[in-house]
Structure 1
């Protein structure tokens, strides 16, 4: 036993001596080793990225203190990417022994990082190229990969830092932005930063303050303007036509940890006074007074998820989202959204200013809750889940805003907007001689249009879940917005109360107004369909079925035969291009005839028409004023132009 203890002591003594010898050798040859490391980095940069990595002077100060002078990274035949006059730092010795780099202190004095893009290329494109080093039959463990990346990022953040005279520059084909860090200090886990931001025609000072502990993986930072002004984001305006700014943003990271093989990332972020202006969002500024996102991310070996305990809050609207992506045998995308019971008036008042301008001034009583469940499996696209449920409790609109939905029950004046230009006024009512009540419109036309545009119009409440499911599935498969699920109710609301502008604002308002119109039973389905037939465009400056039947056939709407009704139903998606469906005044082009035959068979199958209805169904004859358009040069359209009923008229 004594001999055994002596052997252990001897082994530990030898091991200690070797470690000490290693430390001594490392200390003695540390500068030589540093030069070799720099040389290897330079060689790699030149070989893989065609860049020269240069340091005029590099040396150790003690065992872990490093100093670099005149450091630069210059791509071949391009502008300098990085230049630093002086950099001092310390590294964790024990981490360094196992090949990891964990910075302690960092001091940077004068320098810059600049990204330059011209018509001939950029000085950073070499670093964006994929290396195509995927290994066969290997699967990435998402949790381990993200934990490794986040750990390295946190390790590269020093515990103490001081930066002076350092700038981040961006030059995108003359669109220049400079972020000048006049002062950046991290000491005792407290961060204070002043950033002077300037662009071609803009200058502003930003500040970042708060708590940062990179070793404990925690942070709580606030981003604001020290002059209590709105922070404006440069570059985005000229690059993406996006004007945006905010009063302050707060980022909080409470937890980044591996537990039972899963990575947990918890925290929250909030924003005050967000302002957005973009032609695809809304015509006016969109203003969000306050919003907050409490997140709980969970990452496993083959899945990523935002846990349902997360909360998103927009003013007084709170919802609990669940988002998940699983990549095992199948790729599965899932989304669940819950809005707990809330007052309807709180919801209306919490809508962002500028995004729902037709709701301004609207008042409501009662409560509601909402739940959405969506799931898509790439190997089972037809089994898509789309379940949207709104549960009202005494929900009632007591006062309308700019969009007075009740006006549809009375005579009103309608003006279409074509490319931003108001068209001639159309009176929707009996004082207009062209106005046609529903019972004076050919039943064949009603059946053709409903079959083509919205077969379940009289049974749905504004939306068709199955159509939404098919639309989403097709859009995911094609990776583009190829199909929509617009109903006659949605088309009516868009035409009567909104505009044809292709903005997010208009689409969101359309969805909410349709729900209110249909579910509060403000107007009957028959009245909706009657107004629809009397306002939609049927040709160049032709509005309403009364004008259309005379324009094409010199007939009253009640006298139209089946062929004529098929023609009118077919041109609704593209009324100005009606000539593209015809060879001449009596003959359809083959693709249009195929579409008509398909529609006819469908109506037979659904018992909407019988063989007796086709008796006396004379051939098409464009005999009205429209005939003169057929003498002009026809529009060169393809068969795809005919079946645009599936496309979403956004």
Structure 2
């Protein structure tokens, strides 16, 4: 009888012999296995992706080394996707035995990867399609598990030692070409050193990437620099989207990627110096952020993805804590929270990005403030949208105005509308202008009609209406575009007097900040603001102010306008140059225009702004007796396309 010790020794010998036999078999038949693997890959590419995959030569070197030459992938009737001339690599056999592919070393000599889009289509479309036989399950995806699995697989394919020479990445979007050529890339002893040449139709640039990369421990600290003088320009975006952008340097740091307790944590920071962006939808000038840093912590769970509130964003002297979340536990919910701790107002002003707030240049302030924003949108319950914006101030006071001197609202000034970047004729806001009309000489009906249609709570709010913002956000989400704003009369006044009509992010941000300063520092009274508003807004083609409008439409003074005339004037404020589309060829109001005015008058009756006696005679036809009537004589031919502004649209309040 064998003893227990003898049995253990025998078992160990059998296991060792079996393993040795497997190793010998693998060594003896490895080239045959390699050929079979390549053949399977080629068959899969042909059958599932309609592409030709070939390797001219493939062989093992030593126990775990592999040499390849002329690796080519060509989709049918499309440009080559990639062509690698020579590649050497080694694989971790122990990880391979458990079904994991982990590269040890990698050498690539000369080759290219290219993405092409042209009239024939895209040469990578076949690899984006979903599997036809993919089964769909009602089970929710575990975001933490899914992300950790993808990250682990990707990092396993990053070798611990790497040497790349003359590898190009080419992008061709219908003739918009960009080439990123890795002249050399070295990763040795966790140290990364790279030199890249970037070529586009507009510029050529050399970029250096250096730092530490440890794919096995999931950490990295990498910096991007320009080898030549000047900033690093971002390719492709300019030609494709009209977005010019550049930066002096970028640093990306990954400190930790860890999954524990069912949650995935990704920690690190990213920083950028002298970021410049230029796009017509952002601002009319270059926008520059001198220094910005993002200390991040991403958290992923089974039913959520978030940027944790312990994260910090800092640009110049402004520092705040963002919280972003996407949750799917019960409903699909989007959350955003921003918290700016107590800071000096002047530090905030001087930290505003150059080019984004041009009207604030030279502004000075005293005191402190802190700010909080809470936003939540439930996709399944949209009407429960949360939008809560709070600013807490401490001895906050503007001591010096910048380019936008808000005090000018209290005196005489010359107003010139800007339409499509062209200044219109000057309009004097003051008593020396015979058409200027003080508020007490403007028909009370017109004041009530315009306030009801444009800003019912004008005399009680401080520049903004939270509920209006909520409704604006909801409509923009539903239409998937910025189809509705939330402008109060205060915002319209600031936009007209101090800003331009350009639809840019810059103008909207400046508008919000200037309105807050105007309303919360009591720079002008509500009555004065409303008076200026009535005397500068556009009421028709080259018609500015209510004094000109009353004459243009009815040959009256603003004090003598009837309720019917005031209802008409209020409803054309959003689109005054298109007033003629409200009339038919006989000079009578069309049905949709009558309905708009009826809706407005009924709303005012329900709110007690009008009485039944006020509406006597309101059903009588509207007659244009001023110069405006001559514009109604233009006949619209059947062959002329109907103006998009002529169709009936809901009249919103």
TM bin, normalised by shorter chain, reads over 0.9
Q: Distance in 1 between matches of 2:136 and 2:643?
A: 49
Q: 2:205 touches 2:228 (CA, 8 Å); kept in 1?
A: no
Aligned length: 646
Instruction: Tell me whether 580-589 or 276-285 shows the greater mean CA deviation.
Output: 580-589
Tell me the alpha carbon deviations over residues 290-345 of structure 1, each in whole angstroms, 9 at most, x when there is no partner: 10001100000110010000000011100100000101221011100000011111
- Name the structure 1 match of 2:18: 18
3-state DSSP class of the match of 1:445?
Answer: helix
CA shift for structure 1 position 643: 3.5
Alpha carbons of structure 1 residues 532 and 19: separation in structure 2 relative to 1, 3 Å = same
- Name the structure 2 match of 1:118: 118
3-state DSSP class of the match of 1:466?
Answer: helix
Instruction: Tell me whether 446-455 or 71-80 shows the greater mean CA deviation.
Output: 71-80
Q: Please give the residue correspondences for 1:415-494 in structure 2 after superposition, counting only pairs within 5 Å.
A: 415-494=416-495
Mapped pair 1:359 → 2:360: yes
- Name the structure 2 match of 1:622: 624
Q: 1:585 touches 1:627 (CA, 8 Å); kept in 2?
A: no
Q: Distance in 1 between matches of 2:352 and 2:297?
A: 25
Q: Distance in 1 between matches of 2:478 and 2:8?
A: 66
3-state DSSP class of the match of 1:526?
Answer: helix
Question: C-alpha root-mean-square deviation of aligned residues, in Å?
Answer: 1.6
Q: Distance in 1 between matches of 2:612 and 2:9?
A: 106
Tell me the alpha carbon deviations over residues 128-178 of structure 1, each in whole angstroms, 9 at most, x when there is no partner: 223352413222111111001100111111100011111111222222211
Mapped pair 1:206 → 2:212: no
Mapped pair 1:643 → 2:650: yes
Q: 2:144 touches 2:300 (CA, 8 Å); kept in 1?
A: yes
Q: 1:256 touches 1:266 (CA, 8 Å); kept in 2?
A: yes
Q: Please give the residue correspondences for 1:40-439 in structure 2 after superposition, counting only pairs within 5 Å.
A: 40-131=40-131, 133-439=134-440
Q: Distance in 2 between matches of 1:157 and 1:136?
A: 32
Alpha carbons of structure 1 residues 223 and 638: separation in structure 2 relative to 1, 3 Å = closer
Tell me the alpha carbon deviations over residues 245-300 of structure 1, each in whole angstroms, 9 at most, x when there is no partner: 11000001011110101111111100001111111111111111010001100000
- Name the structure 2 match of 1:549: 550
Q: 2:463 touches 2:519 (CA, 8 Å); kept in 1?
A: yes
CA shift for structure 1 position 33: 0.9
Instruction: Tell me whether 315-324 or 634-643 shows the greater mean CA deviation.
Output: 634-643
CA shift for structure 1 position 533: 0.6
Q: Distance in 1 between matches of 2:484 and 2:13?
A: 76
CA shift for structure 1 position 356: 0.5
CA shift for structure 1 position 586: 6.0
CA shift for structure 1 position 43: 1.0
Q: Distance in 2 between matches of 1:99 and 1:550?
A: 85
Mapped pair 1:605 → 2:612: no
CA shift for structure 1 position 638: 6.7
- Name the structure 1 match of 2:639: none
Q: Distance in 2 between matches of 1:267 and 1:352?
A: 24
Q: 2:547 touches 2:557 (CA, 8 Å); kept in 1?
A: yes
Q: 1:228 touches 1:247 (CA, 8 Å); kept in 2?
A: no
CA shift for structure 1 position 5: 5.2
Q: 1:248 touches 1:271 (CA, 8 Å); kept in 2?
A: yes
Q: Distance in 2 between matches of 1:136 and 1:106?
A: 38
Q: Distance in 1 between matches of 2:444 and 2:2?
A: 109
Q: Distance in 2 between matches of 1:395 and 1:548?
A: 40
Q: Distance in 2 between matches of 1:107 and 1:616?
A: 89
TM-score by length of 1: 0.97
Q: Distance in 2 between matches of 1:636 and 1:169?
A: 45
3-state DSSP class of the match of 1:461?
Answer: coil
Q: Please give the residue correspondences for 1:26-41 in structure 2 after superposition, counting only pairs within 5 Å.
A: 26-41=26-41
CA shift for structure 1 position 477: 2.6
Q: 1:303 touches 1:325 (CA, 8 Å); kept in 2?
A: yes
- Name the structure 2 match of 1:510: 511
Tell me the alpha carbon deviations over residues 514-571 of structure 1, each in whole angstroms, 9 at most, x when there is no partner: 1111111101111111111111111110000111111111111111111111110110
3-state DSSP class of the match of 2:96?
Answer: helix
Structure 2 unaligned regions, length at least 5 = 637-641
Tell me the alpha carbon deviations over residues 174-225 of structure 1, each in whole angstroms, 9 at most, x when there is no partner: 2221111111100000000001111224111100000000000000000011
3-state DSSP class of the match of 2:627?
Answer: coil
Q: Distance in 2 between matches of 1:24 and 1:594?
A: 90
CA shift for structure 1 position 12: 3.7
Q: Distance in 2 between matches of 1:317 and 1:136?
A: 46
CA shift for structure 1 position 372: 0.1
CA shift for structure 1 position 17: 2.5
Tell me the alpha carbon deviations over residues 36-61 of structure 1, each in whole angstroms, 9 at most, x when there is no partner: 11111111111122111111110111
Q: 1:570 touches 1:642 (CA, 8 Å); kept in 2?
A: no
Q: Distance in 1 between matches of 2:386 and 2:520?
A: 23
- Name the structure 2 match of 1:519: 520
Q: 1:212 touches 1:219 (CA, 8 Å); kept in 2?
A: yes
Structure 1 unaligned regions, length at least 5 = none
3-state DSSP class of the match of 1:29?
Answer: helix
Q: Distance in 1 between matches of 2:335 and 2:245?
A: 30
